[in-house]
Chain A
């Protein structure tokens, strides 16, 4: 059974005379434990799709199921990691990670053994994410990379079966991002959760995903799905392998073909010649 299944999903923004079709006929099956990445030109609706799976946005047509049940709203089985501004600045790192523990859904039927297990888990996540030194710091005292580690740990705290990530490393510098890639792969394999990872960075999509979903804009749709021909356990050297580079070129061409944002070099040249004369 699929962990996530989207069938002919459609999203129309606004109503009246000029509704905007954000997504049309999106069908996608994601297996349990799979790591799927989604790339595409801006405006292709990749974030919208993710937010609909999370239940943060309603879909106007089709069906979305998570864990066999239709998605009607946000739920504790689908945790989400955002690009930024999602940590709670008034809580320390440790209390951010434990945030979910105080919520009604997670308190129900809890025994004292569960409480002990939870503290153990918070410590384990802290260690796994390399945050032991920062446990009592506030988010504002951490670098961007450390902040995202906290956000991931917080999302994983209650063992969600599905982890949804919306460009989580988009605001990080290239070196930090590479470190985060290996970390997230390791952690997700360990936790065994299903991951949908949205990014605009094709290298990131290939390095992380077992499959790469390429989306196209106007209307937002799935353009192609690529299996990544790399062993499940990724390593830095694979970034330079011929399989990686070939797939990278293919996907980039595909995105370029559907993106309507382009620089018209001939027009630029003409204009600069006119300006010079």
Chain B
């Protein structure tokens, strides 16, 4: 008999969709591919140097780099370099955020402020931060302030425009609802625009933090005698390619850690974006 309840349905595992556009992938496969994506270049690098086909002065092996990190840590104050670089990047970036957040909020909220400031910001952000080094030395001097100023210049103008864009993206209907419920102008800004834009603003802070790190080496061109960027520049002078590699990889690792930290904060602070029914 073909009673519907007697038909046995074979349960299949969901099929992986490797090449389907925006297809589905199991967690296991995802992490396997991610590990592979890191392991293959590393293996290639190891092989290339182990075969001795490339001069070590141009391309040190992974072992040399790790060894350099260890000796740097043991004999050469690695932690101090990391610390001072983190300090410079964080302070430069935080100062930029301190000014860019309110300014961007005003640019994105009031057309008059946008008209007055946005063209200027658009102009300045195309100026290369490196070109400001002589001016910064002239105006700020050659102390910590100079390094922080370079990082500030590199990140601030981009950040303002991104903040303004985040603020502008708040749906008009959200603002208008508040207005028809009787909200004043400052209430619309405080109760709707800011909370609505917050997740996007945190993303902007995360992305600009990355840019702040890319300006580190440039900033430490200015009369520095410590820091990761400075170490890279000095290593170049002594042809210590392994140290250049070590410095670059350390900056990358720190950046990755900070980025993941931001993402974690995002998930914790804006749970509603990750809520599932």
Which of the segments A4-12, A31-39, A82-90 contacts the partner chain? A82-90
Q: Report how far A104 CA is from B187 CA in the complex, Å.
A: 8
Residues of A within 8 A of B195 (CB): 88, 90
Minimal beta-carbon separation of B45 from chain A (angstroms): 44
Question: A30 on the interface (CB 8 Å rule)?
Answer: no
Q: Interface residue tally of chain B, by bracket? A: 20 to 34
> Counting CB contacts under 8 A, is B273 at the interface?
yes
Q: Find out whether the CB atom of B182 lies under 8 angstroms from the CB atom of A158.
A: yes
Report whether B171 and A54 are in contact in the complex, using a CB–CB cutoff of 8 Å: no
A-B contact pairs, 9 of them (CB 8 A): A56-B176, A56-B179, A83-B173, A85-B173, A90-B270, A102-B191, A104-B184, A151-B177, A158-B182
Q: How far is the CA of A80 from the CA of B174 in the complex (A)?
A: 11
Using a CB–CB distance below 8 Å, which chain A residues touch chain B?
54-56, 73-76, 78-80, 82-86, 88-90, 99-100, 102-106, 137-138, 140-142, 151, 154-155, 158, 164
Point out the residue from B174, B176, B183, B196 that lies within 8 Å of A103, measured CB to CB.
B183
Q: How far is the CA of A151 from the CA of B191 in the complex (A)?
A: 17
Q: Which of A54, A89, A137 has the most CB of B within 10 A?
A: A89
With a CB–CB cut-off of 8 A, which chain A residues contact B198?
A: 90
- State whether the Cβ of B53 lies closer than 8 Å to any Cβ in chain A: no
Determine chain B's interface SS by DSSP, over half rule.
helix
- With contacts A102-B191, A103-B187, A104-B187 taken as known, whether A88 is within 8 angstroms of B182 at the C-beta atoms is no
Does B277 touch A at the CB level, under 8 Å? yes
Interface centre among B173, B177, B272, B275 (most CB of A within 10 A): B177
- Contact assessment for B173 and A86 in the assembled complex, using a CB-CB cutoff below 8 Å: yes
Q: How far is the CA of A80 from the CA of B180 in the complex (A)?
A: 6
A99 to chain B, nearest CB (A): 7
B interface list, Cβ under 8 A from A: 171, 173-174, 176-184, 187, 191-192, 195-196, 198, 270, 272-273, 275-277
Asked whether, in the complex, the Cβ of B180 is within 8 Å of the Cβ of A138, the reply is no
- CB of B181 within 8 A of CB of A86, answer no
Q: Which one of B171, B176, B270 has the greatest number of beta carbons of chain A within 10 Å?
A: B176
B181 touching A76, Cβ below 8 Å = yes
When distances are taken between beta carbons in the complex, the residues of chain B under 8 Å from A78 are 180
User: CA–CA, A85 to B170, complex, Å?
Assistant: 10
Minimal beta-carbon separation of A73 from chain B (angstroms): 8
Residues A80 and B275 in contact, CB atoms below 8 Å apart: no
Q: CB distance B179 to A74 under 8 Å?
A: yes
What 4 A-B pairs have minimum CB-CB distances, sorted nearest first? A76-B182, A141-B277, A105-B182, A86-B173
CA distance A61 to B106 in the complex (A): 32
Task: State whether B180 touches A89 (Cβ < 8 A).
Answer: no
Say yes or no: B180 contacts A158, CB within 8 Å: no
| Seed contacts A56-B180, A103-B182; 13 additional CB < 8 Å A-B pairs | A74-B176, A79-B180, A86-B177, A88-B192, A90-B270, A99-B181, A103-B181, A103-B184, A104-B184, A106-B182, A138-B272, A154-B177, A158-B181
- With the chains together, A54 CA to B178 CA distance in Å? 12
A100 touches B192 (CB 8 A): no
List the B residue with the shortest CB-CB distance to A100: B181
Chain B residue nearest in CB terms to A89: B272
With A89-B272, A90-B196 already in contact, the answer to whether A79 and B181 are too (CB < 8 A) is yes
Which of B180, B181, B272, B273 is the most central at the interface, judged by chain A CB atoms within 10 Å of its CB? B180
Assess the A140–B192 pair: CB atoms within 8 A: no
Contact B180 A74, beta carbon cutoff 8 Å: yes
Whether B275 pairs with A140 at a CB distance below 8 angstroms is yes
Return the contact of A138 from the options B171, B174, B196, B275 (Cβ within 8 A). Answer: B275
Complex Cα distance, B259 from A187, in Å, reads 49
Q: In the complex, what distance in Å separates the CA atom of A86 from the CA atom of B181?
A: 12
Distance, CA A106 to CA B187, complexed state (A): 12
